[in-house]
Structure 1
Amino acid sequence: MGLRRAYQNYISNNFFVKLILIFSIITVLTIVTLSYFTFQTMSESMIQNELNKQRDAMESVNRYVNNKYESVQLMLQDVYRNPKLSENVTYLLKYSFQEYVMHRLDQFSSSSSTLTGLDYFKNLIADDPDIANIIFYSSEKQFLYVNSQQGLTKLIYTNASRSFVPDAMALQNPGVSLPNYWVRQSINQWEPKLYSVQSTINDMGTLKSVGQLIVYFNSERIKSVISGNVGNYHGYILVLASDGKVVFDSSDQYYGSIYPYADKLNTLTGSGVLQEDSYITTLASPGNSGYLVVGIAPKSEVAKTYKSLQRLIILISTACILVAVIIPSLFVINFAKRTNKIIRSMRKVETGDMTVRIQDTKGDELGQISRGFNEMLGELTRYIERVYKAEIKQKHTEMTAMQARINPHFLYNTLEVIRMRAISQGITDVSEMIYSLAMLFKSFVQQQTVVTLREEMENCSRYLELFRIRYKDKFSYSLHYDRELAERKMIKMSLQPLVENYIVHGMRTDGTDNEITVCAVGEADVIRVTIQDNGIGIPQGRLEEIKRSLDLPETEEEESSLGLRSVNERLKLMYGKEYGVEITSQPAIGTTVTLWFPYSEGSGGDNV
């Protein structure tokens, strides 16, 4: 429950937290994926580079060993191309050594050449430090004639009844291999890092095999070839004979033995598990040399080459993730703070605090929302003030009406008694004034705020009738309206205050031709009422003041009057700003007041 509540509070209901989480997840997955593929591509490239370096080393080894094999073949070719040398070698292998010595003495006395005998091979050993021994084996006489790097020669008899050398030599395959154990034992050559190249010697006359030429080479010399041509590489390189024996081992692990994984090399391609999981490369020897060059690069050792790359990519990826997440998060957090400020301000407004304002001067969307919110609050405050004042006026009017309704029947009956008394005394004009006053009073105390045009005209007529009687022949009035407009709705008490303004301020009491005209006409969707008099008029300066004051709210002192400004404000509150009152006047000529309201019909509303 605690985790669920925390999820709802901090993640589910928080858009910006979800935005940051989604963006972070996408960013992390993208960078991790790109980093992974980058690492895979670069590491494979580095692995291939290491394998290429090893292959270059293997090719150097292959060339070197093959050169040594070919150098032995060249030895035999030189023997075959030189008849005297060929005859000497063949004689050595076909006859006993004593007979060969006698033969050589006879040749020496008749020839001045010194290279027609076995001295030729001694010179080869001297010229090539890689050669440890050059050995001749006589198949017929079963002896070994050994030339060593130190310039020593040995003749060793290997009769089959006393030695395994003849059998071993018969089974020995030509090409590159390890030195035969029995040959080593016979010539006392136990240097472990040697390999042999063996080739058959034929009699040039009969083309029959008369023996074998065996050359021992120093395997350690191969390392210098690798380091000199290739440099550092990972893993190790083997040269295997056809029987799987190790001819050369750059790691010095398997010298003098059969490579334990030789049987797997034919089934594995590219990589496999030998002593450990490794990359495997093989190079077959050219021709009939019979050896195999093998490159073994353990994957764990090759992996060390791209460990630094792995650490670098992880470091760069981590830095990219931090930058890609933190910087946008800072912007999102800033937006979240500004949004929360707007939300808090809205909640304060919900509690009724209309003084809240958001301080945000930035020009982005949130700044525009904040300024719009402030403007909306300002407009709403002004609207509330207008509505509040309208309600206050409505309450004041209702209070006034309520006070006027105190025991209205008593007032009506009292006025009726006074009127009947006037009639009994024959004072008809007084009775008419009392009747008009009673009807006006009855209309005023009614609660409805919207009446028909006919009712408002009748009330206006009763009010004017009072003053006609008061001023007798000095005052006259007339009211005109189309009968089809009789039932149109308008605000109650919207004409009487305007007529009263004329009676109080505009009528010439010393004149006998005072006249006022009230006329209502329909124009499209508007009813226009014109009140025109021939009174004293309004001076120009005062008229401008009145016009300016029409758009200003009333002060507390003016709220008790029902004059021009009150009618104008009630019309605007009821119908809108496009309706209201307009006044024109000329001194000594008269004043014209025009008001207009919508062309509505039916019962309408009863309250503003």
Structure 2
Amino acid sequence: MVPGSTRKELILKARSLYDNYVKNNLFMKMILLFALITTVTIVTFSYFMFNVMSQSIIRNELENQKKAMDSVNSYMTRKYESVQSMVLDVYRNESLALHLTYFLQHPFEDYMKYQLDHYTNEADVDMPKGLDFFENKLDSDADIENLLLYSSEKQFLFAYKQGHVSKLISTNASRSYIPDAMALENSMMSVPNAWVRQAIDQQDPKLYAMRVPITDKNSLKNLGQLLVYFDSDRINQALESYKEQLKGYIIVLGPTGEVLFDSSDRYYGIRYPYADKIESLFDTAMLEQESYVTTLTQNQAGYMVVGVAPKAEVAAAYQRLKHTIALISAICIIVVLLVPVLVVTNFAKRTNKIIRFMRKVESGDLSARIQDDKEDELGQISRSFNDMLGELTRHIDRVYKAEIKQKHTELAALQARVNPHFLYNTLEVIRMRAVSQGAKDVGEMIYSLSVLFKSFVQPKGENTLKDELETSRLYLELFRIRYKDKLSYEIVCDESLAGKNIMRMALQPIIENYVVHGLQPRRSDNHIRISVYEAEGRVRIQAEDNGIGIDPTRLEAIRQSLDLVEEVGDSFGLRSVHERLKLLYGTDYGLEITSTLGVGTIVTIEFPSEEEAQHV
């Protein structure tokens, strides 16, 4: 825990650093913001790139495992088909089928006599007869460890073994469990039965058995079974080309989860401890550890090939990629930040230099000049500043004395009762002076002001829509020039309505309200549209702007204030227009405001299209 006093000191230090180096330092804020955006962007991109590439590596690793599983499955399918073909060959050869049938239905001594009696009568002396056929099959396939013929009727087992003499084993039910075990076995492929293993003295755990029932061709009576024990280690031959790429291990399971083959040599002789999970798996599971699991089922033979790839082993394959991406990202962040920091720091130094010279001028040193020969924006600002100082110095020398002389004349004019004609002429002189000095925008503003002043001071007897709209245009033109074309306006009026009479100063308070409260100086697209049209016997004038709009609560307060009696306070101009409309044309007329925050405001006024008696 950090003590309270220490925490407070850290907060104060951080606050001090912020105030000194960040709060009033635009360039530092730019650097920090750019650093934040750049770092987040590069880190995010690196994260997504790592995810995409790591997923691609995982898919490749699992695809390699799938190919290895296909190779194992192909190998075992060939063995399964070879055993099936062995029995079919027997059935296709009439003499061989008779020999095998007789062998399984009679004592071994009787079969030997039967074989001797029929040997000389067979036409095809090259075809193996009787038990020689199976012995030849054993010799031709080195993957076979044992080949067994079991007679269910006579209850004996005739066993062949690689490199050993075949032998006959009695399996009478009264002395052996083998008949019961044979009767219960119904799967095509499994691990060798323990009782059969003991009877034939076969203790090697790395074996898998293929079983085919033998029936009489004519009566379809079950005579016994053919069992072939294959060496599980031989399946590794199918994995030779995948050993270096294979992650995890491949295991082949029998119908009840017994292990027929295990590339890791860990589960031979036992039931696979995760067999129950395998049956319900889809993608990943917690076995020895969190692992990707892929299954391939051979329905005919009744076995399942399972590929198990621990996530930790697969992750090790893209661990180096992770470090590489992290290093590249760090280098990119450093390079991307270093260059802008150097550039911005240079700009900051030059900007601070300009500020220092401005402060010198502010203190009265008009001889200060900025030395910056570069052609970029800061260089142009520096030269413009120097030019401005030179022009200001010359102007003071040329105009200052004349201005002092004119002061007395202006003071005398102000002390007298100035008539409007004198003011118009004076405004015109000022306008021409501004034009002659190159300040055309000031001249335009003065012209608009003088025309406005004349319309207010010397009003005509009647005020038409045309006059009111022209006054509004001049008023808007003042603000358009004031905001350097950041404000645009549009006035639309049907020519047939231009001669309609309207009260004076109906639109000026509305325009003023927009300029003061709705116009946004930072925007360059401020716009107000004044449209005049006739609807339902009334002349309707709408002033629609794209300003900041009015909050609904504030809008409701303004609407309620329109009917208040006070003549001061907020919305006085709008309230005066609303009250005059009601006094002149009745309570059915007035001013209506609608607004959407962030979109703009629409102010609508209405008066009768046909002239009616004015209300007092």
User: Taking structure 2 as the reference length, what is the TM-score of the superposition?
Assistant: 0.62
- Alpha-carbon distance in 2 for matches of 1:251, 1:317: 39
Q: Match for residue 282 of structure 1? A: 295
**Offset from partner CA, 1:176-226 (integer Å, 9 cap, x none):** 111111111111111121101011111223211111100011111111112
Q: Match for residue 168 of structure 1? A: 181
Instruction: Call closer, same or farther: CA 1:36–1:577 in 2, change over 3 Å.
Output: closer
**Offset from partner CA, 1:526-569 (integer Å, 9 cap, x none):** 9xxxxxxxxxxxxxxxxxxxxxxxxxxxxxxxxxxxxxxxxxxx
Q: How many residues align?
A: 406
- Alpha-carbon distance in 2 for matches of 1:51, 1:373: 70
Q: Please, which of 303, 321, 337 is the counterpart of residue 333 of structure 2?
A: 321
Q: Please, which of 154, 158, 168 is the counterpart of residue 145 of structure 1?
A: 158
Question: Contact 1:179/1:194 (CA < 8 Å) preserved in 2?
Answer: yes
What are the equivalent positions in structure 2 for 1:279-428 lying under 5 Å apart?
279-287=292-300, 289-384=301-396, 390=401
Q: What SS is found at the alignment partner of 2:120? A: helix
Shift in Å, 1:82: 0.8
Shift in Å, 1:262: 0.8
Q: Match for residue 53 of structure 1? A: 64
Identity, % of aligned pairs? 52
What are the equivalent positions in structure 2 for 1:18-97 lying under 5 Å apart?
18-97=29-108
Q: Please, which of 110, 114, 132 is the counterpart of residue 99 of structure 1?
A: 110
Question: Contact 2:64/2:242 (CA < 8 Å) preserved in 1?
Answer: no
- Alpha-carbon distance in 2 for matches of 1:368, 1:268: 72
2:283 paired with 1:270:
yes
Shift in Å, 1:114: 5.4
Instruction: Call closer, same or farther: CA 1:449–1:107 in 2, change over 3 Å.
Output: closer
**Offset from partner CA, 1:399-456 (integer Å, 9 cap, x none):** xxxxxxxxxxxxxxxxxxxxxxxxxxxxxxxxxxxxxxxxxxxxxxxxx97699xxxx
Q: Match for residue 236 of structure 1? A: 249
Q: Match for residue 130 of structure 1? A: 143
Question: Contact 1:56/1:230 (CA < 8 Å) preserved in 2?
Answer: no
Question: Contact 1:241/1:292 (CA < 8 Å) preserved in 2?
Answer: yes
Structure 1: state its 5+ residue gaps.
398-447, 453-487, 489-524, 527-575, 579-608
Q: Match for residue 183 of structure 1? A: 196
Instruction: Call closer, same or farther: CA 1:449–1:10 in 2, change over 3 Å.
Output: closer
Shift in Å, 1:41: 1.5
Question: Contact 1:122/1:151 (CA < 8 Å) preserved in 2?
Answer: no
Instruction: Call closer, same or farther: CA 1:577–1:25 in 2, change over 3 Å.
Output: closer
CA RMSD of aligned residues (A): 2.9
Q: Over alpha carbons, which structure has the higher Rg?
A: 1
Q: Match for residue 18 of structure 2? A: 7
Instruction: Call closer, same or farther: CA 1:124–1:292 in 2, change over 3 Å.
Output: same
Question: Contact 1:60/1:229 (CA < 8 Å) preserved in 2?
Answer: no
Shift in Å, 1:276: 1.3
Q: Which amino acid aligns with 2:354?
A: I
Q: Which amino acid aligns with 2:76?
A: V
- Alpha-carbon distance in 2 for matches of 1:220, 1:449: 121
2:264 paired with 1:251:
yes
Shift in Å, 1:236: 1.1
**Offset from partner CA, 1:472-526 (integer Å, 9 cap, x none):** xxxxxxxxxxxxxxxx9xxxxxxxxxxxxxxxxxxxxxxxxxxxxxxxxxxxx99
User: Taking structure 1 as the reference length, what is the TM-score of the superposition?
Assistant: 0.63
Q: Match for residue 128 of structure 2? A: 115
**Offset from partner CA, 1:307-338 (integer Å, 9 cap, x none):** 12222221222222222221122111111111
Q: Please, which of 162, 167, 176 is the counterpart of residue 154 of structure 1?
A: 167
Q: What SS is found at the alignment partner of 2:209? A: strand
Shift in Å, 1:266: 2.1
- Alpha-carbon distance in 2 for matches of 1:304, 1:385: 82
Structure 2: state its 5+ residue gaps.
1-11, 412-421, 423-427, 430-435, 439-616
Q: What SS is found at the alignment partner of 1:152? A: strand
Q: What SS is found at the alignment partner of 1:377? A: helix
- Alpha-carbon distance in 1 for matches of 2:410, 2:361: 39
Q: Which amino acid aligns with 1:250?
A: S
